[in-house]
Amino acid sequence: MKFEWFVASRYLLSRRKQSFISIISVISIAGVGLGVATVILVIAVLDGVDHGLRERFLANEAHVVLRLIDHRFFGDYQNRIDRITQVEGVVAASPVVYSQMAIFQSGQESITDAIYVKGIDLVQEDEVTSFSKYVTGSVDFKTSPLIEEAELREGETISGGIVLGYRLASQLGLTEGDVLRLVVRLADNPGSVGSPTLFVDFANFVVIGVYESELAIYDSRIGYIDVDTAQKLYESVGKVNVILVRLADSEMASELSYEIEDAAQFSNEDQVPKTSTWLHTHSALFAALKMEKIATVIIEALIILVAAFNIASTLIMTVMEKTRDVGTLRTLGASRGNIMRIFMIQGSVIGMLGTFAGTGLGLGLCWLLSTNIVRPSLWIALGTIAILIIAQIVLVYNRLLQSPKVRKIGMALLWLLGICFALYCFVRPISLKELGFSEIYQMNQLPIKVNWFFVCFINLLSFVICWLATIYPAWQASNLKPIEALQYE
């Protein structure tokens, strides 16, 4: 072993009475470790949110939405879709009649809410958004048996089946087989005399299924009906007002949107096309997430910096305590470089141990927070900790193990295992649904996604910060004059 490593390792594992220095070393290691663990965990959550949202948006949304600038209906949509799908990079396209309808349940006196209604072609929609995958119940908008079985007031008819977002369904208290009455449109009643009255066009739909995407914006605001039904309701047979497009690479949405507009071949005079991309629609959200991540990294780097100051102060204290040793070593022929390296190695090892421990803790917590398995009861965890405390007391007071070294290592191992087990019992996936945050965060469980590149980056950053923190104390030690160091009291 190189001389500097030999001396530094002995100072780290000092067997003399400098328990104070040793405790500070442990605190320094813990400080760095906690900093690293926190940053890994927080970034894993933020990346999980980012990744989870992207995954859900991409599964539930089209990559490009094509419509006319004044939201008007347009015909010849199937030909337009065929031409759009021939654009390189486009996987599929589907026609949609997109509208808003008001809820006016029978027996109520006023309109309670308005929802978005998507009239879709099931086969084509599934190619674009995997719609059916998220539906519980039926997707058979026209021939579901529930439509036949539905009870109506006299004189009213059923327009078809509707699939409701599950939050919306529970908010309205509707289950499969219930009838939902929607106001399709209002029009002036030409027969009214005096003050004008409005003609209200109702449509009744039977709830045939519920849609659960885990994205609150879809699950609480949208209903899905058949595109033909929607066309009939709006008296626009053979027309739609939106075409949804799925791409092979979702990141290419902005680049391909102009080609998609061209392929749709709208006449430029009265039909001005407009595309919007999923990235553009959610740009504010992703920008906020990115900003949050940058802010987190800066704050966490500051935490590690504070921990690095611990290392610096530990080393300064070690240098003060080892001043006579430095004098002796210089007398024996150790150079300034030798002395500097001894203390830099000592500080770097503290930093490295802290970084590795923090990485282990951070990754362990990420695993525990994302693994849905049945854990032992919390009482077992508390019992384990209690047993460890009792074992520690018994060992200390009765000195059951003769060798202090064996006693120390044995107890340290037991504590490590005990704490790992307690964490295993305590740390479970966090249900945002149970906490009532699922609407805010758009997902039911706290998402975790370990970013390995970032884990490596934070390890490197932490190690560099800790290494930098060793320079000044080590330089101070190397600058001690041998005679003054030897005579240091």
Partner 1 sequence: MDKQIRIDNLHKSFYDGDSELKVLKGVNLDVDKAEILVIMGASGVGKSTLLHIIGTLDRPTEGSIFYDEQDITIFSENELTLFRNDAIGFVFQFHQMLPEFNALENVAMSRLIRNSKNIGSLDGSSSTPQEVYQTAEHLLDSVGLSERLNHYPSQLSGGERQRVAIARALMNNPKVVLADEPTGNIDDKTSDAVLDLLLEVNEKLNQTFIIVTHDSRISERAKRTVHLVDGRIAE
In whole angstroms, the minimum distance from the beta carbon of 279 to partner 1 comes to 58
Distance in angstroms (rounded) separating the CA atoms of residues 399 and 404: 8
Using the rule CB under 8 A, give the single segment among 148-156, 170-178, 323-331, 388-396 that binds partner 1. 323-331
- Binding residue (CB under 8 A) for partner 1 from 39, 329, 345, 425: 329
- Binding residue (CB under 8 A) for partner 1 from 90, 245, 312, 334: 334
Q: Applying CB under 8 A, does 340 fall inside the site for partner 1?
A: no
Residue 76's alpha-carbon distances to 73, 121, 241, 272, 465, in angstroms, are 10, 15, 11, 15, 64
Q: Which residues contact 276 (CB under 8 A, 6 or more apart)?
A: 64, 65
Q: Applying CB under 8 A, does 333 fall inside the site for partner 1?
A: yes
Q: Applying CB under 8 A, does 220 fall inside the site for partner 1?
A: no
Backbone angles phi, psi at 201, to 5 degrees: -105, 110
Antiparallel, parallel or unpaired: β 113-120 and 135-137: unpaired
For residue 390 the two structure tokens come to: 């009792």
Q: Applying CB under 8 A, does 4 fall inside the site for partner 1?
A: yes
In whole angstroms, the minimum distance from the beta carbon of 16 to partner 1 comes to 6
Q: Applying CB under 8 A, does 328 fall inside the site for partner 1?
A: yes
In whole angstroms, the minimum distance from the beta carbon of 27 to partner 1 comes to 21
In whole angstroms, the minimum distance from the beta carbon of 474 to partner 1 comes to 16
Q: Applying CB under 8 A, does 335 fall inside the site for partner 1?
A: yes
Q: Applying CB under 8 A, does 226 fall inside the site for partner 1?
A: no
Q: Which residues contact 134 (CB under 8 A, 6 or more apart)?
A: 59, 60, 211, 212, 213
Cβ nearer to partner 1, comparing 60 with 338: 338
- Binding residue (CB under 8 A) for partner 1 from 146, 330, 443, 458: 330
Distance in angstroms (rounded) separating the CA atoms of residues 19 and 424: 31
Distance in angstroms (rounded) separating the CA atoms of residues 359 and 457: 11
The amino acid present at 47, given as its one-letter code, is D
Whose tokens are 């290494």? That residue is 467
- Strand positions, DSSP E, 397-464: none
Q: Applying CB under 8 A, does 6 fall inside the site for partner 1?
A: yes
Q: Applying CB under 8 A, does 16 fall inside the site for partner 1?
A: yes
- Binding residue (CB under 8 A) for partner 1 from 51, 221, 336, 449: 336
The amino acid present at 73, given as its one-letter code, is F
Q: 89 with 293: CB under 8 angstroms?
A: no
In whole angstroms, the minimum distance from the beta carbon of 300 to partner 1 comes to 35
Q: Applying CB under 8 A, does 475 fall inside the site for partner 1?
A: no
Q: Which residues contact 484 (CB under 8 A, 6 or more apart)?
A: 327
Cβ nearer to partner 1, comparing 18 with 170: 18
Q: 278 with 250: CB under 8 angstroms?
A: yes
Query: Which string of DSSP letters, residue by residue, matches 203-221?
Result: EEEEEEEEE--S-HHHHTT
Cβ nearer to partner 1, comparing 50 with 325: 325
**What is the x/- site pattern for partner 1, positions 286-315, by CB under 8 A?**
------------------------------
Whose tokens are 């109506």? That residue is 152
Angle at 340 between CA 336 and CA 341, to 5 degrees: 120
Q: Applying CB under 8 A, does 486 fall inside the site for partner 1?
A: yes
For residue 335 the two structure tokens come to: 């150079």
Q: Applying CB under 8 A, does 338 fall inside the site for partner 1?
A: yes
3-class DSSP state of 381: helix
User: Applying CB under 8 A, what is the total number of residues that bind partner 1?
Assistant: 26
For residue 159 the two structure tokens come to: 């327009």
Query: Which string of DSSP letters, residue by residue, matches 46-74?
Result: HHHHHHHHHHHHHHHS-SEEEEETT---B
Residue 385's alpha-carbon distances to 37, 368, 416, 424, 453, in angstroms, are 22, 19, 11, 13, 35
- Binding residue (CB under 8 A) for partner 1 from 364, 383, 429, 482: 482
In whole angstroms, the minimum distance from the beta carbon of 318 to partner 1 comes to 11
Distance in angstroms (rounded) separating the CA atoms of residues 233 and 256: 33
Q: Applying CB under 8 A, does 403 fall inside the site for partner 1?
A: no
Using the rule CB under 8 A, give the single segment among 189-197, 425-433, 454-462, 476-484 that binds partner 1. 476-484
Distance in angstroms (rounded) separating the CA atoms of residues 334 and 266: 84
Q: Applying CB under 8 A, does 476 fall inside the site for partner 1?
A: no
In whole angstroms, the minimum distance from the beta carbon of 403 to partner 1 comes to 16
- Binding residue (CB under 8 A) for partner 1 from 332, 373, 379, 436: 332
Using the rule CB under 8 A, give the single segment among 14-22, 165-173, 457-465, 468-476 that binds partner 1. 14-22
Cβ nearer to partner 1, comparing 22 with 171: 22
Q: Applying CB under 8 A, does 323 fall inside the site for partner 1?
A: no
In whole angstroms, the minimum distance from the beta carbon of 450 to partner 1 comes to 40
Using the rule CB under 8 A, give the single segment among 309-317, 333-341, 367-375, 386-394 that binds partner 1. 333-341
- Binding residue (CB under 8 A) for partner 1 from 47, 214, 226, 325: 325
Distance in angstroms (rounded) separating the CA atoms of residues 20 and 18: 5
Distance in angstroms (rounded) separating the CA atoms of residues 208 and 163: 6
Cβ nearer to partner 1, comparing 5 with 202: 5
Cβ nearer to partner 1, comparing 37 with 345: 345
Residue ranges in contact with partner 1 by CB under 8 A: 2-4, 6, 10-11, 14-16, 324-325, 327-336, 338, 481-483, 486
